[in-house]
Amino acid sequence: MRIPKKALREKSLTKEKLISGDSSHETWLVRYIENNELKSGFFKKLEPDGHFPELLAKMSVATSSFKASFQGSRSAKEYLVFDGDDDNDDNNNDKIVGILSGALKDFKSFNFAYQEKPVDGSEKEQVIPSKQTLIENNTMEILFGRLFLGDDDPHPHNLGLKGDIDFDMFWYWFVIYMKGTRPGIALPKNRVNLTVLDYERFPCVKDSTPYHWPTYTHPGQESITSVLPDVVQKPILSATLPSVLPKVYAAPDQFASLAADPIAQEQKVMAALKILLTYQPEVLQKRLIDLFDDLTLNYTSLPPLVRAKYEEEFPHLCNEKTNKSSFVNFMMSMYQQHYDNLYRVVVFYMGCENNGFGVPLLGTSSELYKKPSFYKNIAKWLRNENDTTYANEPENQANLNALKNRYHQVWRDSYTLKLKALRDDAINLTSAICKLATKNGKIEKPVSKEISDDSLISALQLFGSLENISVNAELCVDEETLLYKALMLLVDFTNKFQQTIKNYYEKKCDDLTDVDNHNFVRQLEQLCGDYEYELMENLAQATTPANEFVRIIRELKQCVQQANFKVHLLTTDEQMRNVHTSIDKEVLPLTHAKVIKQYKEAFFQWVDYLPAETFNQYIFDIINKKYAPNMQLLSMRKRAQPVKDYVLKSTESNSNKLAYILGSSNDDEGALNTEIVRELTPIMLQTNYMPSVISANKDGRFEQNITIFVKAVASFARGENDRGGQRRENEFIHLYSDKGIELFFETMYEWVGTLPPYKRVTLNAQKNRLTLLVDEALKKYEAKLRFSFIWSASRKEEITTCFRDKNSRMALALTFIAGSDTSTASQHLFIDIVNEIKQDLLKNPGLKKNPGYNLINSFSESENKDFYFERLKTCSVTEKMSHYMEIKPKVTKLSDEAEFTLV
């Protein structure tokens, strides 16, 4: 049988001694010959029915190849080992029996805590390194590589200053069932999970929760499950477990201190960029083929129970079809998932004032702009790899032109969120002017993906639709007015802005050229020049819209100035040392009125750029996992199901749905409102740069002041008056907003006014619609009154007389006002009118296009009646209708003639 090009036969290995130590499977120190050179390594024998089956062995070898692409000789090389003989034609003898892990040159692993500390200072620094030694040896690169590929086992003996070894617990979200779960340890998510928080705090990770990690005081620090709350559990475990559990780091504080060191943080960025820029799928695939040839996935080689578990947990990865598919293709798809996750976190990173350890971090676009050496050093390293490691393998050498193209793509994409924010601001400004210049005018906002969306594989997806916007509404201003001209200019400006973005971002990585970037920069410069003066003239400089446009233009100009790729490649770090990368933004106290105003406006604008299904899923997850995660809480928290039902059936905009949910709470700072703000704020901040809030969200001050922000968004959702008594201008029309309540009652009174007037008659057959409606409501009212234990005089005569003597609108309003706060007569009449209107809507669905009728159609007696009962007599519309006068014919003699009087 022909084994893979870079595989070995077990008989070619000279076993020297059996290793007893950290490994859970049989491991031998061996000698072997590679490229006519005698080398040493470790032969790890397969355990087909244990914790080291064939599939895991293959994945470990593939991992070593991936790591070599960005870590080079600092990562151990691994190869498959087969039994049999090259001269034997019996294919059945050629089976994988283990893997060979080459020994790293001068590798010395870190110490466990219980190991004796070396007396010699330099020797101690090798095994229990200080922060300075870790930085000098760029240990951040090694740690970041382990995190990137999801390692759960970076204990001290797997790492050293020279590099790292042992890769059979990488891709832990997938391999866990082969390795076997750890008792008392929470299961990882069954997908890639590198987060922005972990990237900022690195190496002090929290979301990734590996079992072993250099900054942990004991293994399982972030993943040991307990019935105790964290504030109780962690102090107890931290005091006891370091002396009980094996494989504890000797000086985790030195690793943790890297999070607070600017140089270490720069090394982290370099490590991430090295992974991103050296990615060349064709080259990686060729190298894997040398290691595996045409081997298949063959997950069915796993023990039956384990195999069944994989089919259950990963049906898209482990099925009859994939089992016979190429293992190389399987690993390439696995790597692509991790790469895409890293790309989303790093390339679109916006920066922070404080990473939680006192270090301000630049956004990636600014980081690249300030440090041209990142790319130059990576190019130098890759060139050296070609000249040394792959000198005799030209087919496996990296393509330096492809490296430049990949950097151009990363460079371009790092500006995505800046450009998207400015594009969104331009649309929002156009929409605001549209409302002033048209009747019910609205600019549709493009739906885009979130950075955390696993399906996001292109920066272009973050923009959503880049199709032209337009105004499709009746104008309420003359075409010669400045307002109309400003609206048309803003539409043109936004459309040209979007088209320029589209032309550049549609280019694939392999097709990007310096000319593409030059054209992009030149077109944006021209856009600013063509529209700046004329728009400012037509907006009138003293207005809020004019100030907003000036800000957009100013930030766009700066973005254009920085985005020139050709100029960037010719600059040095020294030249960029004192260059500002952003327009200084005022950092105000968290609870400052300006911060709260910016927050609540951004909160509602942000959700409108989400796909409806994404927004809905956020709300469902918050309810299911935070608000009512178990039956006990579900029984206590009554809003869970009604909110879910509303979200499922609603066809409104995301912002209106959010406003309804927040505004419908009886308590502004109730549990669901608080969880929504708590959970959605970090996601919103990934694409909205608010320094005060971002900083407070990291150090805990936002949580301490969360009730202020919850109340602010709930009040904003209802459109309540501000402290000055002025009405807030927002577009929320729902059953709990001030606008929605007014519109609901206005529509109801208008409908009642269209009915023939009330007539006091006995026979139902002679009653008109309003008479039947009022009499039936009063009939229910009196029936209930007879069974009441508290005596109360009937209001029937009072109400029927009012309807007979007054016009319908006035009579209804006076009925509501005259009733007590708990008047069941008013309540029965209100509910019957609403239900009668709904019957009309069933017969004529077109009426739902009217916002008022649409609100009435969405009214739920079980969910909304109490809220509306409280407002029957206090609503401003009811007060207005109580004085309503209409011209109504009044017959004064038995003839066809009528006398018209005010009634």
Per-residue pLDDT tens for 700-720? 889 999 999 999 999 888 886
Sign of CA dihedral 298, 300, 305, 310: positive
Q: Which H/E stretch holds residue 901?
A: strand 899-902
Sign of CA dihedral 650, 651, 657, 660: negative
CA angle 622, 627, 632 (to 5 degrees): 140
* β pairing state of 159-160 and 8-9: unpaired
Sign of CA dihedral 17, 21, 23, 25: positive
Residue 49's alpha-carbon distances to 43, 46, 302, 600, in angstroms, are: 18, 9, 7, 57
Radius of gyration over every alpha carbon of the chain, rounded to an integer in angstroms: 35
Packing angle of the helix pair 262-277, 54-71 (nearest 10 deg): 110
617: domain range?
Answer: 593-718
Report how many helices (DSSP H) and strands (DSSP E) the chain contains, helices first.
Answer: 40, 14
Which DSSP letter does residue 75 get? B
Which DSSP letter does residue 25 get? S
Mark whether 158 and 221 lie in a shared domain. yes
Residue 53: inside a domain = no
Helix (H, G, I), strand (E, B) or coil at 860: coil
Strands (E), 276-363: 351-352, 361-362
Mark whether 140 and 235 lie in a shared domain. yes
CA distance 151 to 454: 20
53 is written with which tokens?
């089956």
CA distance 194 to 345: 8
CA distance 763 to 828: 21
Chain centroid offset of residue 354 CA: 21
* Cβ atoms of 73 and 389 closer than 8 Å: yes
Q: Which domain-ending residue is among 261, 277, 310?
A: 261
Looking at residue 850, its pLDDT comes to 87
Looking at residue 611, its pLDDT comes to 83
CA distance 251 to 352: 28
Mark whether 764 and 695 lie in a shared domain. no
Mark whether 659 and 545 lie in a shared domain. no
What region does 333 belong to: left with phi over 0, alpha with psi -120 to 50, or beta? Answer: alpha
Looking at residue 545, its pLDDT comes to 85
* Cβ atoms of 275 and 70 closer than 8 Å: yes
CA distance 431 to 440: 11
Mark whether 444 and 562 lie in a shared domain. yes
Please state the domain count of the chain. Answer: 4
Sign of CA dihedral 871, 876, 879, 883: negative
CA distance 429 to 515: 32
Residue 62's alpha-carbon distances to 44, 327, 759, in angstroms, are: 15, 10, 87
Residue 283: inside a domain = no
CA distance 297 to 217: 38
Looking at residue 731, its pLDDT comes to 65
The three-state DSSP-derived secondary structure of 210-261 is: CCCCCCCCCCCCCCECCCCCHHHHHHHHHHHHHHCCCCCECCHHHHHHHHHC
Sign of CA dihedral 236, 242, 243, 244: positive
Residue 579: inside a domain = no
Distance from the first to the final alpha carbon of the chain:
104
CA distance 397 to 289: 14
CA distance 30 to 28: 6
Residue 139's alpha-carbon distances to 184, 274, 718, in angstroms, are: 30, 14, 53
* Cβ atoms of 218 and 238 closer than 8 Å: yes
Helix (H, G, I), strand (E, B) or coil at 32: strand
Mark whether 668 and 788 lie in a shared domain. no
Question: φ, ψ for residue 510 (rounded to 5)?
Answer: -65, -20
Question: φ, ψ for residue 3 (rounded to 5)?
Answer: -90, 165
Mark whether 544 and 626 lie in a shared domain. no
Q: Which domain-ending residue is among 573, 606, 626?
A: 573
* Among 13, 44, 45, residue whose Cα is nearest residue 31: 13
Cis peptide before 629 (omega within 30 of 0): no
Mark whether 694 and 786 lie in a shared domain. no
Ranges under pLDDT 70 in the chain = 1, 21-24, 86-93, 188-191, 225-239, 242-244, 440, 451-452, 473, 476, 541-542, 580-587, 630-636, 668, 720-731, 786-792, 821-823, 886-903
Residue 169: inside a domain = yes
Task: Using CB atoms within 10 Å of the CB of residue 319, give its burial: 0 to 12 exposed, 13 to 18 middle, 19+ buried.
Answer: middle
CA angle 288, 293, 296 (to 5 degrees): 95
Looking at residue 626, its pLDDT comes to 86
Looking at residue 262, its pLDDT comes to 96
Look at the chain and count its residues: 903
Mark whether 517 and 614 lie in a shared domain. no
Q: What is the largest CA-CA distance in the chain?
A: 125
* Among 747, 727, 691, 718, residue whose Cα is nearest residue 859: 747
Mark whether 181 and 244 lie in a shared domain. yes
Looking at residue 666, its pLDDT comes to 74
Looking at residue 891, its pLDDT comes to 43
174 is written with which tokens?
């997938």
Which DSSP letter does residue 626 get? I
* Among 105, 154, 106, 108, residue whose Cα is nearest residue 129: 108
591 is written with which tokens?
């609870």
Looking at residue 86, its pLDDT comes to 64
Q: Which H/E stretch holds residue 19?
A: strand 14-19
CB neighbour list of residue 240: distance below 8 Å, 6 or more residues apart: none
Mark whether 162 and 245 lie in a shared domain. yes
235 is written with which tokens?
């102090």
Q: Within 13 Å and on the Cβ side, how many CA atoms surround 95?
A: 10
Strands (E), 259-317: none
Q: Which domain-ending residue is among 662, 684, 718?
A: 718
136 is written with which tokens?
């000098």
Chain centroid offset of residue 613 CA: 13
Q: Which amino acid is at 308?
A: A
Residue 287: inside a domain = no
Q: Within 13 Å and on the Cβ side, how many CA atoms surround 622?
A: 24
Looking at residue 900, its pLDDT comes to 38
CA angle 260, 261, 262 (to 5 degrees): 120
What b/e sequence results for 212-244 when a residue is b if at least 16 CB atoms lie within 10 Å of its CB, and e otherwise? Answer: bbbbbbbbbbbbbeeeeeeeeebeebeeebbee
Looking at residue 887, its pLDDT comes to 56
Residue 388: inside a domain = no
pTM for the whole structure: 0.78
Looking at residue 584, its pLDDT comes to 55
Contacts 24+ apart (CB under 8 A), 692-695: 692/587, 692/588, 692/589, 692/590, 692/592, 692/595, 693/590, 693/595, 693/599, 694/352, 694/353, 695/352, 695/353, 695/354, 695/587
* Cβ atoms of 206 and 221 closer than 8 Å: no
Residue 299: inside a domain = no
778 is written with which tokens?
């009063």
Mark whether 743 and 890 lie in a shared domain. yes
* Cβ atoms of 372 and 568 closer than 8 Å: yes
Residue 883: inside a domain = yes
